[in-house]
Amino acid sequence: MVKKIITYLIVGLYALMLTSCGFQDWRTAPRHSAGLAPLPEKEPKAVVQVYAARAINWRGWFAVHTWVATKEANANHYTVYQVMGWQLRRTGYSVMIADDIPDRYWYGAKPYIIEELRGAEAAAAIPKIKAAAASYPYNDTYRVWPGPNSNTFVSHIIRNVPELGVELPPHAIGRDWLNGSALSARSETGTGYQVSLLGALGFTAGKAEGLEINILGLTFGVDVASPALKLPFIGRIGVTDKAVGRP
């Protein structure tokens, strides 16, 4: 088993190096729609989507950037919620909330959907997402490692919106930074418990998360509910993650 995990890591790292060897200038990197979100004029129902994409340039070897996009019922636009380091340097605030294309390439990296809600469930979640974004306690702070960062922000939203039942991927570094620098809390999906030392060392056990160990921000784990291995750098190997449901 250990040999298989090491093999996966080596192959995954090699693939990442091959795909990331030609770094792009962020100013000219693709930022167009990936075609994953329904067009507002074709979907009158409320929509909530949680996205992830490989981080910019060399950071993409290690981690993903995550964000949340919402569209209220009958709205003609999406609102995107995310944290950006340069936003903090420019304005003094890291949280960025704007009407935007929901499924933009993240500076050359194609996004994928972690979770999607539509209809009544999405409509119920949107006010809670707004409230969670407003209550994020680290709007004046940003650290790439071990957090708080963009993944800490999205994790904060997931923890406070019961309708969102899928945890962030294991290579979303920063997701394990707990509010108030707490040492323990309910797990991200609320189906278990988590112990974390400033996001750099800890473990999680939950019905949705399975078992995870975090060493210096690198997560190793096994998901039983949606069978998969969880590995640093790579993410999940196995079945696509699905919501389990909070108690």
Contact 150, 82 (CB under 8 A): yes
Report how far residue 45's alpha carbon sits from residue 22's, in angstroms, rounded to the nearest whole number. Answer: 40
In a domain, 246, yes or no: no
The torsion of the CA quartet 198, 202, 167, 164, rounded to 10 degrees, works out to -60
Of the chain, the percentage scoring pLDDT greater than 70 comes to 89
The burial of 164, by beta-carbon neighbours within 10 Å (0-12 exposed, 13-18 middle, 19 or more buried), is given as buried
The answer on pLDDT for 17 being more than 50 is no
Higher pLDDT, residue 183 or 18: 183
Provide the pLDDT for residue 19. Answer: 43
In a domain, 226, yes or no: yes
Q: Tens of pLDDT along 202-237? A: 999 999 999 999 999 999 999 999 999 999 999 999
Provide the pLDDT for residue 50. Answer: 99
Confidence band for 13, pLDDT divided at 50, 70 and 90: very low
Range list of β-strands (E), 140-200 = 184-186, 192-197
In a domain, 229, yes or no: yes
The answer on pLDDT for 20 being more than 50 is no
Q: Tens of pLDDT along 71-106? A: 999 999 999 999 999 999 999 999 999 999 999 999
Provide the pLDDT for residue 224. Answer: 95
Q: Token digits for 205? A: 């056990």
The burial of 7, by beta-carbon neighbours within 10 Å (0-12 exposed, 13-18 middle, 19 or more buried), is given as exposed
Name residues whose C-beta falls within 8 Å of residue 94's C-beta, 6 or more positions apart in sequence.
83, 84, 85, 87, 88, 138, 139, 140, 141, 142, 153
Q: What is the pTM of this model?
A: 0.90
List the one residue out of 82, 118, 112 whose CA is nearest residue 99: 82
Tally of domains within the chain: 1
The answer on pLDDT for 2 being more than 60 is no
Q: Tens of pLDDT along 137-174? A: 999 999 999 999 999 999 999 999 999 999 999 999 99
Q: Please, what is the average pLDDT of the chain?
A: 91
Q: What is the domain range of residue 189?
A: 2-238
Q: Tens of pLDDT along 126-146? A: 999 999 999 999 999 999 999
